[in-house]
Amino acid sequence: MSKARVTSTECVQAAGGKHHGTHAITSPIVHSAPFCFDDTKDLIDFMEGRSERRQAEYGRMTNPTVTAVEEKLAALEGAEKAQLFSSGMAAVTSLFFTLLQSGDHIILTSDSYRRTRDFGFFLGKFGIKMDIVDPFAKAIEDAVQPSTRLIFSEIPTNPYLHFIDLHEVVEIARKNNVLVVADSTFATPCNLKPLEIGVNLVIHSATKYLGGHNDLIAGVLAGSDELVQPVTEMLMTLGSICDPNTAFLLGRGLKTLGVRVAKQNASGQAVAEFLEKHPRIQRVYYPGLESHPSHDLAKNLMYGYGGVVTFLVEGSFDDTSTFVDHLEIPQIAPSLGGVDSLVEQVAIMSFWNLPKSEREALGIPDNLVRLAIGIEEAEDLIADLDQALKAR
């Protein structure tokens, strides 16, 4: 079983170096909408792909700061090409628009980011059908139809952190000539490299661990040139490019990805073990715990289990809010993967517009909490959780 990951050394060094003739150790932020040509021959060489020195002609197509980060991300994921986007959702929507056409069918696993699901439903307007199935290989296999074009799953899923058996799903997809896309936002290349298992494309909300500081919105798609390039063309039309300032912040964040994720893996495990023994906690979902339904799969696939811990507080909606309100370290906010710990009562943060009965049908009870651990010390987080759980 593969447990490939990138190391902190790779996070610092991959595709680094002396940038663009400036010999700067960091990639300069290049602010330019158009990029100039020396003469007509230079322009024609560029148009015909013979120009080596120039990567950019116009800022909606690409930009040297963006390209530098894309090269780093491709190296970290082990991909031929990585494409940055203005958000994770821009990566998802651009990919679906590129790959799918009327009559196609897609399979999405349940327990996934709500907006991805919403977009799948939206595509129904264009004659694209979607089945949402439980995150198990068998459920995916049963849902495959002759018109199935792609299988899309978060790995692990959100908020319950389930794992599909990627090896099995890749096999099912190969047999049926279907593409597999993994949203690896929660895993990061430090814990899992889906392309090495045979997944065709990897997506991240780079807003989360990759950026890592809760200060940017970006997305990335990585895979073969053949699959990513058409999505790049779509991006150029949709205009959802990542701007150079954001790319710079992302490139800087990537250098510390290895140390951040190592700390978050360790704290995630410590916090999950603490919560599992706490009398005021009904149930903990963390793949590093033997009690998690995906523990064995996660153990085979993952180098570490990440910084998100999901749990049920003993008590009512109000008891859960009281606990959340008494936390002093984690801020109440959506998102995850950054240096600051964040917490959400999932029913409120992500599903407040739905009635309780619909939330529960989606598997979101009132007492469900998602804690996204940052890089604070685990013992401080545990002491904070302990005092907040005592509050009434």
Ligand X SMILES: Cc1ncc(COP(=O)(O)O)c(C=O)c1O
Helical ranges in 216-366 per DSSP H: 225-238, 244-255, 257-277, 295-301, 317-326, 346-349, 356-361
Identify the residue among 205, 214, 240, 264 touching ligand X (CB under 6 A): 205
Residue nearest to ligand X (CB): 88
Between 88 and 330, name the residue whose CB sits nearer to ligand X: 88
Nearer to ligand X, 212 or 219 (CB): 219
User: Helices 317-326 and 378-390 sit at what angle, rounded to 10 degrees?
Assistant: 140
The two three-digit tokens of residue 358, written as one number: 């619909």
Do you find a cis peptide bond into 159, omega within 30 degrees of 0? yes
Tell me the sheet residues that pair with 371.
Answer: 309, 343
Q: Cα(126)–Cα(78) distance, rounded to whole angstroms?
A: 34
Least separation, in Å, of the C-beta of 158 and ligand X?
5
Which of these ranges, 59-67, 87-95, 308-316, 357-365, lies near ligand X under the rule CB under 6 A?
Answer: 87-95
Q: CB of 89: closest distance to ligand X in angstroms? A: 4
Q: Give the binding-site size for ligand X (rule: CB under 6 A).
A: 12
User: CA-CA-CA-CA torsion for 295, 298, 304, 307, nearest 10 degrees?
Assistant: -70
How many other β-carbons are positioned within 10 Å of the β-carbon of residue 52? 8
From the CB of 348, what's the least distance to ligand X, in Å? 16
In the chain, the N- to C-terminal Cα span, in Å, equals 46
Closest to ligand X by CB, 93 or 321? 93
- Residue 219 makes contact with ligand X by CB under 6 A: yes
- Print the binding letters for residues 166-195 with ligand X: x by CB under 6 A, - otherwise: -----------------x-x----------
Q: Does residue number 73 form part of the binding site for ligand X (CB under 6 A)? A: no
Q: Which is nearer to ligand X, 100 or 181 (CB)?
A: 181
Among 71, 154, 344, 366, binds ligand X (CB under 6 A): 154
Footprint (CB under 6 A) of ligand X, residues 285-324: none
* Least distance between ligand X and beta carbon 289 (Å): 21
Q: Which of 15, 30, 89, 309 binds ligand X (CB under 6 A)?
A: 89
Instruction: Pick the piece of the chain touching ligand X (CB under 6 A) from 39-47, 60-68, 86-94, 161-169.
Output: 86-94
Q: Say whether residue 88 binds ligand X (CB under 6 A).
A: yes
Determine contact, residues 11/257, Cβ cutoff 8 Å: yes
Provide the minimum distance between the beta carbon of 86 and ligand X in the complex, in angstroms, as a whole number. Answer: 8
| Ordered alpha helix ranges (H), 126-218 | 137-143, 166-176, 194-197
CB of 112 to ligand X, least distance (A): 7
Judge whether 82 and 261 are in contact, CB under 8 Å: no
Beta pairing, strands 368-372 & 281-285: unpaired
Burial of residue 110 (CB within 10 Å: 0-12, 13-18, 19+) is middle
Using the contact rule CB under 6 A, the part of the chain among 62-70, 82-90, 316-324, 359-367 near ligand X is 82-90
Whether 337 contacts 327, CB under 8 Å: no
Q: What are phi and psi of 69, to 5 degrees?
A: -70, -40
CA 256/CA 213 separation, integer angstroms: 10
Binding of residue 284 to ligand X (CB under 6 A): no
Distance between CA atoms of residues 210 and 281, nearest Å:
30
State the nearest-atom distance from the C-beta of 87 to ligand X, in Å. Answer: 3
Angle at 280 between CA 278 and CA 283, to 5 degrees: 75
What's the closest the beta carbon of residue 205 comes to ligand X, in angstroms?
3
The reply on whether position 247 binds ligand X by CB under 6 A is no
| Residue 31 CA from chain centroid, whole number | 27
Q: 151 - beta bridge partners?
A: 107, 180
Smaller CB separation from ligand X, 87 or 367: 87
14 vs 89, beta carbon nearer ligand X: 89
Does residue 113 interact with ligand X by CB under 6 A?
A: yes
Can residue 216 be called a binding residue for ligand X (CB under 6 A)? no
Smaller CB separation from ligand X, 87 or 265: 87
Q: Which residues bind ligand X (CB under 6 A)?
A: 87-89, 113, 154, 158, 183, 185, 205, 207, 217, 219
